[in-house]
C-alpha cells in the first residue's frame, strides 16, 4: 500500500487518493479510462468492459502498485496492456486491410498537370500562421480530435499507438502482426490526411 499518497498527489495531476479505494477509482478515473479505451477501440460497450476489467485487475493486483506513479498512470498502464492484448488476438483473427486508405487521396495530391508526382498549387501545404500559439487553444485540440477521429479504425489505432503513446515501431508491428513497410505506409497516409484536415479546418479555415 502506498504511503506517499500526499506527495504523489502533488507530483501527479492524475493521482487523487491516499489509500486505494475502488469507489474513488470509478468516480475519479472512470471517465478518463473510458475515453482512453473508446478512442482506441471505437466501441463504447467494449470500452466499458475494458474499464471494468482494468479496475478488477487493479484491485486483485493492488500489491503491485508501488505508489511510484500516480494512480491514474498505473490504471492507464493496466488498461493499455489489456487493449494491446486485444489487438494482438484480433490481429491473428483478421488481416489488416486499411492499407488502401487514402491511396486515391495521395494520388490526387500529387497530380500536378505539368510535373506529375509533385504537389499542385491547391494541394501544396500552405503557411500555417500561429502554429505555436494554436497548441494553447482548446478549439485547436477539438479540431485535432475531430480530424483524427476521421481516420479509419485500424489506421487510427496505428497512429495513436505511434504518436500519442509513443510506442516503438517494432513493437507496433509485432502487436498488430503487420510488416514494417505496411506500418510506414499507414503512418505516412495518416499524416498526409491529418495534415490536410488540420489545414482545412483550423490553420486555413475560411
Partner 1 sequence: MTKRPSQLAHLPFWRRAWILLLAKFTPDCDLIVRWASESMERRLTLRERALMKIHFWICSFCKRYLAQIQMMHHASCHLHEHEKPAVTLGDEEKAKLKAALRGETR
Q: Binding residues for partner 1, per CB under 8 A?
A: 22-23, 25-27, 30-32, 34-36, 38-39, 44, 47-48, 51-52, 55-56, 59-60, 106, 109-110, 112-119, 121, 124-128, 131, 135, 138, 141-142, 144-145, 148, 163-164, 166, 169, 183-184, 187-188, 191-192, 194-195, 198
What is the closest distance, in whole angstroms, from the C-beta atom of residue 31 to partner 1 in the complex?
5
What is the closest distance, in whole angstroms, from the C-beta atom of residue 85 to partner 1 in the complex?
20
DSSP state of 183: H
How many C-alpha atoms does 157 have within 13 Å on its Cβ side? 24
Q: Around Cβ 196, how many Cβ atoms within 10 Å?
A: 16
Give the distance, in angstroms, between the CA of residue 144 and the centroid of all CA atoms in the same chain.
Answer: 12
Q: Which is nearer to partner 1, 32 or 65 (CB)?
A: 32
What is the closest distance, in whole angstroms, from the C-beta atom of residue 90 to partner 1 in the complex?
21
d(CA 166, CA 30): 23
Q: Are 71 and 29 contacting, i.e. CB atoms less than 8 angstroms apart?
A: yes
Q: Which is nearer to partner 1, 90 or 187 (CB)?
A: 187
What is the closest distance, in whole angstroms, from the C-beta atom of residue 93 to partner 1 in the complex?
25
Residues 6+ apart with CB under 8 A from 124: none
Q: Which is nearer to partner 1, 3 or 181 (CB)?
A: 181
Q: Which is nearer to partner 1, 9 or 199 (CB)?
A: 199
What is the closest distance, in whole angstroms, from the C-beta atom of residue 63 to partner 1 in the complex?
14
DSSP 117-179: TS--TTTSPPP-TTHHHHTT-HHHHHHHHHHHHTS-HHHHHHHIIIIIS---HHHHHHHHT--
Q: Which is nearer to partner 1, 91 or 167 (CB)?
A: 167
Amino acid at each position: 500500500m502506498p504511503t506517499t499518497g500526499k506527495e504523489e498527489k502533488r507530483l501527479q495531476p492524475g493521482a487523487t487518493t491516499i489509500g486505494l479505494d475502488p469507489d474513488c477509482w470509478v468516480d475519479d478515473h472512470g471517465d478518463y479510462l473510458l475515453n482512453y479505451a473508446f478512442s482506441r477501440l471505437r466501441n463504447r460497450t467494449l470500452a466499458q468492459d475494458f474499464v471494468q476489467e482494468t479496475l478488477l485487475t487493479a484491485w486483485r493486483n493492488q500489491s503491485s502498485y508501488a505508489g511510484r506513479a500516480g494512480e491514474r498512470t498505473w490504471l492507464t498502464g493496466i488498461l493499455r496492456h489489456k487493449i494491446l492484448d486485444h489487438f494482438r488476438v484480433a490481429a491473428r483473427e483478421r488481416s489488416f486491410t486499411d492499407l488502401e486508405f487514402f491511396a486515391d487521396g495521395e494520388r490526387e495530391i500529387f497530380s500536378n498537370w505539368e510535373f506529375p508526382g509533385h504537389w499542385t498549387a491547391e494541394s501544396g501545404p500552405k503557411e500555417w500562421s500561429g502554429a505555436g500559439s494554436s497548441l494553447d487553444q482548446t478549439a485547436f485540440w477539438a479540431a485535432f480530435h475531430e480530424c483524427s477521429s476521421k481516420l479509419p479504425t485500424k489506421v487510427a489505432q496505428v497512429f495513436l499507438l505511434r504518436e500519442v503513446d509513443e510506442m516503438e515501431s517494432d513493437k507496433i508491428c509485432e502487436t498488430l502482426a503487420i510488416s514494417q513497410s505496411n506500418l510506414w505506409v499507414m503512418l505516412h497516409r495518416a499524416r498526409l490526411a491529418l495534415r490536410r484536415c488540420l489545414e482545412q479546418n483550423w490553420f486555413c479555415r475560411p
